[in-house]
Amino acid sequence: MASRVIPVQPFDLVIFGGTGDLARRKILPALFRRYCAGQMGAEARVIGAARADMDDAGYRDFARAAITEFSADSAYAHTHLDDFLARLGYVTLDAGGDEGWGALKKTLGEGERIRAFYFSVGPSLFGDLAARIETHGLAGADARVVVEKPFGRDLASARALNSALARHFDETQIYRIDHYLGKETVQNLMAIRFGNMLFEPLWNSQYVDHIQITVAESGGVGARGEYYDKSGAMRDMVQNHIMQLLCLTAMEPPAKYDPHAVRDEKLKVIRALGPIEPADVVRGQYEGSESLPSYQSEVGSDETDTESFVALKARIGNWRWAGTPFYLRTGKRLRARASEIAVVFKDAPHSIFGADAGRHRNILTIRLQPNEGIEMGVTIKEPGPGGMRLVDVPLDMTFSEALGPDAADVPDAYERLIMDVIRGDQTLFMRGDEVEAAWEWTDPIIEAWEASGTAPCTYAPGSAGPDDALALMHRDGRRWREIRT
Ligand code: BG6
């Protein structure tokens, strides 16, 4: 089933930090793929802006190398690449000074086109960039700014960033990226919940025993040790990506699929989250093995207490979810790269088959990655003449099998999100109050760790995390699902 491509209007996209890692790995390859798909038209322009001394031709070489490395699988690379590169330009510019801004203004010209500014730089530069865009008269009422995570490292810093941006831009112009919202299957969560009659009547504490959200990674921190060690899994994954998954799983049906309605409902979920007791959260840090370095050696410190794993039990204090815990876990260097949301339903109220039939439960699993799809565990009779014995089997739908080979070629999250910026659709971006509410919930958890001074539990590489995380569920008479692809 080929996806329908609706071209966006002509636009100018300025990438501040245009020679950085994100531009190289994600933004330029994503734009190239949208160009090949016919969604970004030939009138569009992409202008890299950074401190490096470079001209247009140099930037095109940089982009060619990036696309060849990160979009090499694109079937169109050999036919469309030169055309795409002709849409690129470059301006040497100092975000904190005045150098280059006149040249950028001249390059942009006066046209009536959609204008977007991508802040692919550290958050310390957001305020400077926003101010200079305004003083140099680069942004009309229709301009957009795109900002990346980390959006602050606590509530106070997130508030400071929000107000720095708000001095120059309206909230309707600010696009805060959480790339999980651009993932096809994360959007599918909304389609599954609100496009079907089947699930919503059961989607509450009356029928759901608990929900597990797992985002497991098999890789370690790698070259990002310096950033990661100041952040840790709670700030890097839970406050943003896992929070978004939790919100989309738990929120009330919005009245319509639009930025206000969807984000209002997500915000209500965050605000309904109860405080986390210290006993309900486990932090972990991976050890090394013969072939793999430990977390501490990867970040170059044998004293660091930063967590590479978190598991916690969250409660949502509202009518729908009172009494149904949400168990969340994420970590690096785990058994597999596997992310899923598992909705575990309660036992049938009475077993007509007697105790020997065992305990059977329906579990709806939404697999985010890899093998995107949904699986419904149902209980049936075990085949054979052995009497009425029950067994659980999966009703399994892998999207690429159900929808044909095109569905396997899922666009990268950045492709979707950048096109949404140009279309002016903020539904899949975080609103300022949402980000602040998420920090408001996360901050006390981090503060409690810091105050306790306890080190994270260690776990073996390739495991399911520390034993304490298993105990977190065992003591409730439940257990984590296996981490597997
Ligand atoms: C990033 C985190 O936001 O998300 C990384 O900073 C993490 O630490 C990554 O590895 C996971 O994203 P994905 O798309 O690979 O699941």
CATH number, domain 11-148: 3.40.50.720
Q: How far is the CA of 197 from the centre of ligand 1 (A)?
A: 33
pLDDT value, residue 424: 96
Q: How far is the CA of 417 from the centre of ligand 1 (A)?
A: 16
29 touches 70 (CB < 8 A)? yes
Q: Which parts of 26-85 fold into alpha helices (H)?
A: 28-36, 56-70, 77-85
Find out whether the beta carbon of 340 lies less than 6 Å from any atom of ligand 1.
no
Indicate which atom in ligand 1 lies nearest the CA of residue 180.
Answer: 14
Torsion of CA 162, 168, 171, 176, to 10 degrees: -60
What is the distance between the alpha carbons of residues 96 and 129, in angstroms, rounded to a whole number? 7
The amino acid at residue 194 is F
Find out whether the beta carbon of 434 lies less than 6 Å from any atom of ligand 1.
no
295 touches 272 (CB < 8 A)? no
Sequence-distant (≥ 6) Cβ neighbours of residue 375 within 8 angstroms: 363, 364, 365, 367, 394, 395, 396, 397
- Ranges in the chain annotated CATH 3.30.360.10: 181-411+431-474
Q: How far is the CA of 44 from the centre of ligand 1 (A)?
A: 29
The amino acid at residue 85 is L
Q: If you take atom 2 of ligand 1, which residue's CA is the nearest one? A: 236
Exposed/middle/buried for residue 371 (C-beta within 10 Å: 0-12, 13-18, 19+): middle
3-state secondary structure of 171: helix
Confidence (pTM): 0.95
Indicate which atom in ligand 1 lies nearest the CA of residue 224.
Answer: 8
Q: If you take atom 9 of ligand 1, which residue's CA is the nearest one? A: 237
Q: What is the largest CA-CA distance in the chain?
A: 83
10-residue mean pLDDT profile of the chain (485 residues): values are 80 97 95 94 96 96 94 67 96 91 93 92 94 93 92 96 96 96 90 94 97 97 92 97 98 96 98 96 97 96 96 98 98 97 93 78 91 88 83 83 70 93 97 98 96 95 97 96 91
Sequence-distant (≥ 6) Cβ neighbours of residue 90 within 8 angstroms: 18, 47, 48, 49, 54, 55, 56, 58, 59
Q: How many residues in the chain?
A: 485
What is the distance between the alpha carbons of residues 394 and 378, in angstroms, rounded to a whole number? 6
The residues assigned a catalytic role are 241
Q: For residue 86, what are its two tokens?
A: 């002709």
Return the CA Rg of the chain: 24
Indicate which atom in ligand 1 lies nearest the CA of residue 236.
Answer: 6
Cross-strand bridge partners of residue 176: 147, 430
Q: How far is the CA of 237 from the centre of ligand 1 (A)?
A: 7
Q: What are phi and psi of 6, to 5 degrees?
A: -105, 115
Find out whether the beta carbon of 229 lies less than 6 Å from any atom of ligand 1.
no
- Ranges in the chain annotated CATH 3.40.50.720: 11-148
Find out whether the beta carbon of 217 lies less than 6 Å from any atom of ligand 1.
yes
Q: If you take atom 15 of ligand 1, which residue's CA is the nearest one? A: 217
Fold of 181-411+431-474: Dihydrodipicolinate Reductase; domain 2 (3.30.360)
Find out whether the beta carbon of 236 lies less than 6 Å from any atom of ligand 1.
yes
Indicate which atom in ligand 1 lies nearest the CA of residue 369.
Answer: 16
Indicate which atom in ligand 1 lies nearest the CA of residue 217.
Answer: 10
CA-wise closest residue to 177 among 371, 36, 30: 30
Helix (H) or strand (E) holding 402, with range, is helix 399-403
Q: If you take atom 5 of ligand 1, which residue's CA is the nearest one? A: 236
pLDDT value, residue 71: 81
Q: How far is the CA of 310 from the centre of ligand 1 (A)?
A: 14
pLDDT value, residue 406: 66
Cα dihedral sign for 161, 167, 172, 175?
A: negative
Q: Which residue of 147, 153, 217 sits with most ligand 1 atoms within 8 Å of its CB, as the best mutation to test the pocket?
A: 217
DSSP annotation string for 370-399: SS-EEEEEEEEEPSSSS-S-EEEEEEEEEH
- Starting from the edge strand earliest in sequence, which strands make up the sheet with 114-119, in order? 88-92, 45-50, 11-16, 114-119, 144-147, 174-176
Render the burial of 31-63: b for 16+ CB within 10 Å, e for the rest: bbbbbbbebbeeebbbbbbbeeebebeebbebb
